[in-house]
Structure 1
Amino acid sequence: MEEKKIKQLIGKTMLEIAEAIETGSFGQKARVGITILGSEHGSENLIKGAELAARSNPDMEVILIGPKNDSGLETVEIESEEEMHTKMEELLDTKYIDSCVTMHYNFPIGVSTVGKVFTPGMGKEMYLATTTGTSSVHRSEAMVKNALHGIITAKSMGIENPTVGILNLDGARQVERALKDFDSRGYAIDFAESMRSDGGSVMRGNDLLCGTADVMVTDTLTGNIMMKVFSSFTTGGSYEASGFGYGPGIGEDYERTILILSRASGVPVVANAISYAKDLAKGRLSEKCSTEFADAKKAGLDEILESLKETKKTETAAEEVKMPEKETVTGQISGIDIMDLEDAVTALWKENIYAESGMGCTGPIVRVSEARIEMARAALVKAEYLA
């Protein structure tokens, strides 16, 4: 047994040496900052998290940004939260630190954070895209960007082909169509398959709990709520005890690696967030972001996003469409966004296919005759209501 452990240690060391030579980081430690003012649990909570992270990561130096303290860790002294963030930005821009963890920081529009959690069902790590910030003021466009932000983060953390799932929210089907279009244009996306029997890349609650996808795409407000639930469901919410925090701000041309904590984050989360920041620095997040956005633009990202901003107007909007003769509708077609549901029904009426809208257990459905289900599906694909 002892010989086996020695061999494993040698193997791990050789891999680390090879990686260090390849990246040019041999002998270098990542320098990660953390601001220590603003926690609901006091500065001591943040300092203890920093000390824990420093002990657990010999390949990292932790730099505190805040008032003088007796932690023994290097401290860049400041006295106020306003001064704290200004100093943090200065240290990042001058490359004195590689990344930083902070609280209550405002990102520009277009930048949003990718959180990381332990899922309670399987204890698997999962990236929530996104959890704070705003990728776009347009919901569907934001969620498509969130997917890209999640992929960038997961790749920076060493997951070469992260699986991507879309949480079953309003707009999820529209986002799914856009991402599949994106994939078909050359930006490869590995879509996750729901653990539910009907499968698909639109994820349900079970998939959240079990971590079916490496990257779970959601709108930011829902992602923020999920982060709070995952991190503090055992504590009642006042103390976040699990997970890695709300993650790094990602956006096109955004170069600072700044990770967000909640003011309620406890010592374990603080320590994990600092380790997360170290891994992202070593994974060269900023470079990965530039590369992935360049590849995404080559695959038509801007065109896809622009199409999502356009209000969908069917040819039937300006004309009265007569309802066909009623039929028994036992056939179901899912995969249509709730916002498009009634328009999809009208589009089928125009094709003289009787249809009704409905809500199944996995979301909106169009109900048609079993005999017409394939004809109806083809008509909906042609009208761009289905992928």
Structure 2
Amino acid sequence: MPKNIIAEALLEIAEGIESGSFAKKPKIGLTILGSEHGVENMLEAARLAKSPAYDIVLIGPKQEGCDLETYEVSSEEEAHKKMEELLDKKVIDGCVTLHYTFPIGVSTIGRVVAPSTGREMLIATTTGTSSLNRVEGMLRNAIAGVSVAKSLGIEKPTVGVLNVDGAKQVERALETLIENGYDLELAESVRADGGAVLRGNDILRGVPDVCVTDSLTGNILMKVFSAFSTGGSYEATGFGYGPGVGKDFDRNICIVSRASGAPVVAHAIKYAADLVMGNFNKVKADEYKAVEGASFDKVIETLQPKKEAAEETETVEAPPKEIVTDSISGIEILDLEDAVQALWKEGIYAESGMGCTGPIVMITEANHAKAEEILKDKGFI
């Protein structure tokens, strides 16, 4: 047996006796080039993140006086190649890096601290693209967020959908999955009308464990949550933009911003280690198996854009005007006028409007039930 293997075994035994645990410690890489705050910021993050629970490995130029294991590279491009190599060879179990490009189908789950309660919340997602179809992407983001939450030890995470375009469709899709047997708990807004669609109040309080949104909105939220107290140039709080998650993507790569300060980068290192210790890839595989058992693919199909009719759009005259005091929500903004005309065609007077939760069709209270039935039948809600 080679001497270095014997030495490593003896070192692991000694560390196990000292720590009380003989489990193999995760190794988390950190690329140290590219930060707007310099290499010193990344080295400070590594110092802050030191823990007996995992080891930190640097990827970048050798630093004098630094006792951490280092793989020497001279550019960000080289750092990413070395990171991928070390992950694929299982030399490291996860890595924190900047400005990494994920393939389509993979996006990142941010982790923030709600300013009004101090409660942690996951933002699904913050960079990357889960799907080229916005609403499908948000639904996939929800599953990715739940997978991460469970690997962090949250047995039954609550899921809410931020009130952006497509939110109502995503909410309905999640409700359908639940009806199909998928074990999921929807969050409840603190606003008087409740529901799983979240307003600004909800995310400031960290109401859901997982806040579902599109990645561009999620990216803005990460900036605001991380740097609201510093003016934006230095991200001071939170855990960074998180791991890239996709069904068949197995590399544990956690993203931070070039503006991320040492405390955020340090938390990102811990986040990457938490995923390893939470057996994330297995948890994720189990979650996708569970949701696919609830006809996930069929639900995804219902979210695809409707094909335009070949014939010219029929001009429909409005029925006699009525005072509209009731409303139906859950209609996408681009379909709103078509929904109104669909009701006109059936002899129901309707108007389009914008409520506090998004687009609405306004009708009389007497016509509510019939109008809702028509809109469901036509696929608008």
Matches within 5 A, 1:178-257: 178-257=173-252
Could you tell me which of 341, 350, 363 is aligned with 2:345? 350
> In structure 2, what is the equivalent of residue 114 of structure 1?
109
**Structure 2 residue corresponding to 1:60, chosen from 33, 54, 61:** 54
What residue identity is the alignment partner of 1:45? N
Report the secondary structure of 1:254's partner residue. coil
Q: Is the 8 A contact 1:247 1:260 kept in 2?
A: yes
Q: CA deviation at 1:93?
A: 0.8
Q: Which amino acid aligns with 1:344?
A: A
CA deviation string 1:307-351 (max 9, x = no partner): 322326689975443422221111122222222222221222233
Secondary structure of the corresponding residue to residue 299 of structure 2: helix
Distance in 2, matches of 1:204 and 1:31, equals: 39
For the pair 1:41 / 2:29, whether they are aligned, the reply is no
Number of aligned positions between the proteins: 362
Q: Deviations over 1:52-74 (max 9, x none)?
A: 111xx321111111111122222
| TM-score (norm: length of structure 1) | 0.89
Alpha-carbon distance between aligned partners in 2 of 1:233 and 1:369, rounded to the nearest angstrom: 44
Q: Residue 309 of structure 1 aligns to a residue in which SS?
A: coil
The Cα of 1:298 is off from its aligned counterpart by 2.4
Where does 1:125-144 land on structure 2 (aligned, <5 Å)? 125-144=120-139
> Could you list the runs of 4 or more consecutive aligned residues of structure 1 that deviate by over 6 angstroms after TM superposition?
314-317
Among all aligned residue pairs of Structure 1 and Structure 2, give the percentage whose two residues are the same amino acid.
58
Alignment of 1:321-332 (within 5 A): 321-332=316-327
SS of match in other structure, 2:303: helix
RMSD (Å) for aligned C-alpha atoms = 2.0
Deviates more, 1:92-101 or 1:312-321: 312-321
Q: Which residue of 2 aligns with 1:7?
A: none
Partner SS for 1:83: helix
Q: 2:27 aligns with which of 24, 27, 31?
A: 31
Corresponding letter in the other structure for 1:61? D
For the structure 1 residues 303 and 276, does the alpha-carbon distance in structure 2 shift closer, same or farther, using more than 3 Å as the test? same
Change in 2 beyond 3 A, CA 1:49/1:29: same
How far has the Cα of 1:304 moved from its partner? Answer: 2.1
TM-score if structure 2 supplies the norm length? 0.90
* Long gaps (5+) in structure 2: 1-15
Contact kept, 8 Å, 1:321 with 1:349, in 2: the verdict is yes
Aligned to 1:163: 158
Determine if contact 1:65/1:77 at 8 Å carries over to the other structure: yes
Q: What is the distance in 2 between the residues matched to 1:185 and 1:350?
A: 34
Q: Read off the aligned partner of 1:31 and give its amino acid letter.
A: K
Paired residue for 1:10?
A: none
Match of 2:144 in 1: 149
The unaligned stretches of length 5 or more in structure 1 are 1-16, 18-24
